[in-house]
Amino acid sequence: MAIKGCGIIASNKIIKFAENMNDIVDQWLEESAGELVARTAANSRVDTGQTKGSYDYAVDKDEKQAIVGSNLENAIWEEFGTGEYALEGKGRKGGWTYKNPKYGIHGDMREFIHTYGKTPNRPMVRAFNDAEDKIVKRIRSLLKDLGVGDE
């Protein structure tokens, strides 16, 4: 009977440990995603500030994953470039002309813009590379507080 009782106590400790582990992973995902959003925004080019302010994150606690990104098309262009500057040479060649949305005065030399594309700025990749060590140290610290990890 005593052995059975010890098994119940051990099971309760394992359940409590697993709950604490889940809480720590959820906390870490939230913190890490927030850090990546802040760094991505800081790395973004600013013209209107719209793209910079569009980065956000979502945490799926069931799947134990965080997704960081933007819902704006320009964020894709910022990350991968466009035209002749697109990563891996996959952009349009020869350039193109478009009507400048900032100017519309007929005859203004700035009314039309010719471009060969936008160079990739890689704000998300740079954010991850800059934050990776900090993010890894944070999960190690949280796990150590739980009694797991490097001794």
pTM of the entire structure? 0.80
pLDDT of residue 150: 53
Q: What is the dihedral of CA 130, 135, 141, 143, to 10 degrees?
A: -150
Reported residue count of the chain is 151
Quick one: pLDDT at residue 111?
Answer: 77
Q: Mean pLDDT for the chain?
A: 87
Angle between helices 73-80 and 123-146 (to 10 degrees): 90
* pLDDT, tens only, 73-104: 999 999 999 999 999 988 999 999 988 777 66
Q: 106 pLDDT exceeds 70? A: no
- % the chain with pLDDT above 70: 85
27 CA to centre of own chain: 16
Q: What is the mean pLDDT of residues 122-135?
A: 97
| Cβ–Cβ < 8 Å for 83, 115 | yes
Nearest in space to 141 (alpha carbons), one of 1, 24, 61: 24
